Amino acid sequence: MLYAFDDLELVGVASSGRVALTKCQEELPDVILMDMVMPEMDGLETTRAILDQYPSVKIIILTSFTKEDMVQDALQAGATSYILKNSSIDQLAEAIRSAHAGQPTLSPEATRSLVKSKTGPLKETDSGLSPREKEVLALIVEGLRNEEIADQLVISQATARHHVSACIRKLGAKNRTEAATLAVKHNLV
């Protein structure tokens, strides 16, 4: 998909950390998109090894993980940015451009994980949920499905889905069950 951008050039692809080291030596790229989970060497180990040899290379961690310790470890290993795989292609292209310019980019979820790790447990005042999202979260805790939430709040199913997704995202949860658990644990509803 990156071929759609004239200002970005793909110079190599690596299937493992060891291959990435070899490719880096051959191509000396400006920016590397690094997965966290790879055979032979994981993303952190590979990031450290590349930056030891090529400190001018910028590394963007591109992953589906937002655990607090993973975000911290990646940044401590020297990664410039931490982006989720569900980011749009435009967001990814902009992150590459920013990394090339020496500017970090963190996905909202990664930022939230970092803030959470530094500020302690989630509190109602910093959940970022709107009043309507809190209503939706309460219904999620009750076990209602999107259709039932829509009926209960007299909104469309699409709007209910949007609010449910926003609750999950803002709480840093993986799914609605985890969102409900966090809501109860932190007295958000």
> Which residue's structure tokens are 């910028």?
58
CA-nearest of 143, 180, 175, 145 to 160 is 145
CB contact set of 14 (below 8 Å; sequence gap of 6+): 20, 22, 23
Q: In the prediction, which pLDDT does 100 show?
A: 95
Among the residues of 28-175, which ranges form H helices? Answer: 43-53, 68-76, 89-100, 108-119, 131-141, 146-153, 157-171
Domains and CATH numbers, the chain: 2-119 (3.40.50.2300), 124-185 (1.10.10.10)
Instruction: Please give the pLDDT value at position 115.
Output: 61
Q: What is the mean pLDDT of each run of 10 residues along the chain (189 residues)?
A: 90 93 94 92 94 95 84 90 91 94 86 63 62 92 90 93 91 84 83
Give 114: exposed, middle or buried? Use CB within 10 Å, 0-12, 13-18, 19+: middle
pLDDT of 124 = 46
186 in helix, strand or coil?
coil
